[in-house]
Each structure stands twice: as structure tokens, then as C-alpha cells.
Structure 1
Amino acid sequence: MSYRRIRRACHGRAPAVRVSLALAIVVALGCGPVSHVEPPPPKPVPKVLVIGVDGVRTDRVLTTGATYLRALMSEGLYATGQLDLAPGVKSLSGPAWSTILTGVNPEKHGVRDNTFAGRQYTRYPDFLTRLERLRPDLDTLAVTLWRTFFDTGLLHQVDWHATLRPGVDYAEHLKDEMIIRRMTDLISRHRVDVVFLHLVNPDKVAHKHGPLGPEYVTALDTMDLGIGRLVDAVRRRPTYRNEKWSVIVVTDHGHRDEGGHGGLSPEELQIFLLAAGPGIRHERRHEAKLVDVAPTVFAQLGMRIPADFEGVPLGGELPGK
């Protein structure tokens, strides 16, 4: 039966006799134009930006403007706390960043100071390496000014990584600016899924001038501006409307009033975690733990939490261990 005869039936011009299969089809389907069914919108793709800020003393952060940090706090979870160090573990960057990136404490990853002696990264790899092994389709990026992260294997399997070239004398205040500029360009223009960025200037300034003076305030304000630029780069992505981003900001230790760390004073042990993204409630906590960063990344990506992680996600649903 031709389309023409069916169309005539729809307009009431079909013969009165010989009610045919065509008319039965018309009655069943209805007359009139065929409606266009819109396909369902694509499911937003989860992505995570982790910003590590070295040597930021928690009690000094909110004495500055902290415009962009405060904005993230208003959207998500802000937790303060103190390092809980086992005997023999120092309040240094080596143990702290190992804990942040591996999701396990020094008793497992083996790093107790900045020599990185005893490291167990083969057994407890960083979360980027774990993601690459579980989901090779993910695009992972890592940038740090501390080459030791790569030289020791703390950051091992990453799609794209960068650090400063050895032997080049960069002006101290320009180091963070260089990697922020590079990362904002990469985030704005390229496909990325999980990003880790490590900023060091607050720690450098605190070592030189202490955390109580105007130099440290300037360093914190500059860090805050850099965080704002990174978040803005995320929101300027052409594909942003089809993505759901989570942002995590974490520091590794504090500083004594005169500058320096490694001991057990309350000022040296200060840490904070900030997380904003889908499923993370707006709240304030006082039990920040560095092991919570890695499981939060997995949870925000909707991935099963590795069984050997020692932390828990900062809000959101727990995909399972």
C-alpha cells in the first residue's frame, strides 16, 4: 500500500468502500504530522581538579581576602585539622604529599621525611596512576615544581606531566605563575579529566619570612588569585555545560611563627581540605585528614573506592570499597 493512499485517508478523501489495511494502519497510528522526538541530553561527564598548596597555615588563610577560597567554601565543604603523625614521621612535604596522593598513611607508603627512604609506591601508587590503570580512557595531568615527585615515582603513570627544568634559575615568585598560566591554557583548550597541580610559593615565603608578616599575606593572596584563575579556566571550557567538575584544595603542613616545619608544634601540624562539587554538602568540619583526598577523587568520578585506601570521600555517595 502506497504512502499516497495513506495520506489521502488522513485527509478524509479515501473511498467509502474497500476499507483496507491502509485505513487500519491510519487508525492505529493516528493522522497528522509525525512528531520529532528529541534525544535525551548527554549525561554530564565527571571531572576533578586537585590543587595542592604547600605550607599554608590554616589560621592565616582567612586573615587575607581569600576571595576565591571563600567562594569555594560557600559552595562546598571546608575542613580544618592537624596532622596525626606516627612516631618518627616529620611534618614535612615528603610524607604529607605521599599521603595525599596515595590515599594511605606513612605506616603504609613508607615515607617519613624528605629523603623518601622506604617508599612503597609500587604497592601503594598515587591516585592518578591508579586511575590510569583502571580507566586508560581518562586524560590525566600533573604539574609540580618539585621534581622529586617524579624522580621518586610518587607521581608515576600520568598522561601529561611537567616540572621545571633542572639548572634553570627561575625567579621564585614566577614559578607558580608559570605553571598556573600553563595549566589554565590546558584546562581551557584541551580534553582533561583529572588534574593535579602543586603550588609552592606560600611555603617558600614562609621559610624565608615566616607566616606572620606581609610577605606571607601577599603570597596567600597570590595563591588565592591563582586558584580563581584555574576555576575560571574550568568554567570557560567549551564543553563545560556537559561536564560536572569537582574542585579540591589541600595543604600539606603549617609553619612555626618564625618559619620552618618538621616538628610537632600545633602551628606546624595545621592542615585544611576544601572540596566543592556534585553531592558535596556545604558544611564546616574540624577533622581534616590528608588520606581523604584520593577517595574523594574516586567518589566524584563515580568510581569504586580501592579497598586499601584509608580515608573516606568528603561528602557525596560512596561508590563502594
Structure 2
Amino acid sequence: MIRSLSLLTLLLCLPVGSLSAAEKSKHVLLLGIDGCRFDALTKAKTPNLDKLMSGGSYSSTALILGDRYQKNDTVSGPGWGSIVTGVWADKHNVQDNGFKEPHFDKFPHFFHYVKQRMPEAKTLSIINWSPIKTFMVSSADISIDTTSIPKAYKMWDDAAAAYAVDLIAKEKPTAMMLYFGEVDEAGHAHGFHPTVPQYIEAIEHVDSLVGKVLETINKQTDQEWLIAVTSDHGGLGTGHGGGHDKPEILNSFLIVSGPAAEKGKFDEQVYIVDAVPTLLTYLGVEIDDAWQLDGHAVGLKSDEK
């Protein structure tokens, strides 16, 4: 009896951070950096994104178009539509930035599947490209758009990060999407290229915001997070439309980071539609063939699949 009490006392005195992975709750973050070229990211000083890469799997050539369907324009509407749903544009039917007849009722935002499997899960979306909130987000307990007038993406990104830091601690979301837009804005204004100082500066500023978010996540010592980072397209000159045969536009990147992730560069070709199935699989949401997802879980350790 004395021995049992001593063991119980010892367990109660252990710090929360000593919980095993099996005892921690699982959480996921889809982190989107609009219009970010990987070659510019690697030139910029990005200690926080570098840490995510070293703590998981990554690809510098995650394609924004699939083998089966490549007719949509290489712009944000189809790109984010594919990222948040895990299907290509012939299914979600966003071909450009017009959103004429989107099919997000048939191919919904990944929060829908999280809620279907775990109704008690808390879902959180923080963005500042308004069509994501207007057309794409569904099944979100909290959905925030930080846009305002006048147009100021850097300020909007600062606000998005501040909301994320506050709500991760308060709400403990099971599934979360966080979007930053200023890199794309800098590319359109000054050029999408590693030699453009304003473009590099925007990437470095976003990285500093990512650091604040990661610091908050790391304080949640009873939680284990998987983070997928990607972009909807690259860029060439000051644009990215019509980029079907331009590697600088077609190549995005994908980072899958966390204790459950494999380490190193992806051996296989990966796609932006792979982010959502990866996050769902980590959460224990079994992929149903009826969902017709085009992506697949990638970068997870074998015991997490």
C-alpha cells in the first residue's frame, strides 16, 4: 500500500511536459503562405520555417497541378481550393478567381471531415484572403478574416498571427488553418524572385510571425501537433497566371513537421493536395473512398499511417 501511494505521488509530481506521445492530444495546423517560392524561402533568413523543415519531411517541388487535370489557371482560387479540400479543380470547380460555381458542398474544407469523425473537435480558421472565408471554409467553430480598409497585408498578417497566438492558448483547436498573404502581395508589387529585396523581406517577416505561433504551440505541453506548410503557387516576374509550363510557378513546396513526421526530403513527388489527407490521417480520421480525395497522406512515420 505504501509502495502504491509512493508511485501515485511520483506520477502526480511529474511535470506535464513528461507526458508520453500516447498521452498527448493530437492537433493539426495547415499553414499557408501565399505566393511563396521555395528558392526565395531558402535564401531568406527563416529560422522558424527552417526548424519545421529539420523537424519533418519537405519537398521543394510540390506541384500545384495534378496529372489528371491541369486546365485551371495557376492562381489563388484553384490553388487554395485544392489545398483545403485535397481534390483538384475539376472536382471543386474553382477554375480561376471568379468562383462562379464552386462545388465545396460536394468537396468540402477538411474541417468537415474532422467534425464528422470528432464532433467535439474545435476548428479554427484565420485568413486574410477573403474568398477562403467566403467560399471555402466550412464546419469552423471560429472563422476570422483579418482584412480591412485600407489594403495592408503586412498588418493583416500581424493580426492573423496575434489571433492565432491568443486562440491556440484559449481554444486549444484540434484542427486549424492559418494563412499569410503578404509574400504574394510583395511578389505582385516588386517581383517573385530571390533577388528581390522586398520579396525576401516579406518572407522573413512571415517567418517571424510563424515563430510566435510555434512558441505558443510549444507551450501546450499536453498536446502533440502536426504542421503542414505549403503555398498555392510560385511566381515569375510580377505574376503567376498561365503558369502551366513554368516551373517557377508550378512548383510550390510542402513541409510536414512534428514528432509524427519522417525526417528528410521527400523521395516521391508530392502535391499540394497531399496536405489535407496527411493531417486527417494523423488525427485518426480514416479516409473514405467516397470523398474522392486526390491527395494521399505523406511524410508520416509508418506507425502513424
Superposition TM-score tier, normalisation by shorter sequence = 0.7 to 0.9
Matched, 1:195 2:179: no
The SS at the match of 1:142 is: strand
141, 152, 162: which one aligns with 1:171: 152
Partner of residue 161, structure 1: 143
Partner of residue 312, structure 1: 296
> Which structure has the larger Rg over C-alpha atoms?
1
Partner of residue 145, structure 1: 128
Matched, 1:292 2:261: no
Pairwise CA distance, 1:63: 0.7
Partner of residue 301, structure 1: 283
Aligned residues: 283
Pairwise CA distance, 1:71: 1.0
Partner of residue 259, structure 1: 238
CA deviations 1:221-269 (Å, max 9, x no partner) are 01111111111110123xx2x211111111110111x211111221111
159, 180, 192: which one aligns with 1:211: 192
Q: In 2, distance between residues paired with 1:149 and 1:248? A: 17
The SS at the match of 2:168 is: helix
Which blocks of at least 5 consecutive residues in structure 2 are unaligned?
13-18
The SS at the match of 2:214 is: helix
Pairwise CA distance, 1:171: 3.0
Q: If the length of structure 1 is used for normalisation, what is the TM-score?
A: 0.82
Partner of residue 235, structure 1: 218
The SS at the match of 1:97 is: helix
Partner of residue 116, structure 2: 133
Partner of residue 52, structure 1: 32
Q: How does 1:29-44 map to 2 (within 5 A)?
A: 33=2, 35-36=4-5, 38=8, 43-44=23-24
Q: How does 1:76-115 map to 2 (within 5 A)?
A: 76-81=56-61, 82-84=63-65, 86-115=69-98
Q: In 1, distance between residues paired with 2:151 and 2:248? A: 30
CA deviations 1:285-314 (Å, max 9, x no partner) are 262301111111111112212322221112
Contact persistence 1:279–1:317 (CA under 8 A)? no
Partner of residue 55, structure 2: 75
Which blocks of at least 5 consecutive residues in structure 1 are unaligned?
1-31
Higher deviation after alignment, 180-189 or 138-147: 180-189
42, 55, 66: which one aligns with 2:46: 66
Change (3 A) 1:87 1:68: closer
Q: In 2, distance between residues paired with 1:83 and 1:156? A: 22
Contact persistence 1:305–1:319 (CA under 8 A)? no
Partner of residue 274, structure 1: 255
The SS at the match of 1:62 is: helix
RMSD: 2.1
Pairwise CA distance, 1:170: 4.6
Pairwise CA distance, 1:319: 7.2
Pairwise CA distance, 1:108: 1.4
The SS at the match of 1:268 is: helix
Contact persistence 1:278–1:300 (CA under 8 A)? no
Q: In 1, distance between residues paired with 2:177 and 2:230? A: 11
Whichever residue aligns with residue 239 of structure 2, its letter is G
CA deviations 1:189-239 (Å, max 9, x no partner) are 3322111011100000100000231000100101111111111110123xx
Change (3 A) 1:35 1:151: closer
Identity within the alignment, %? 26
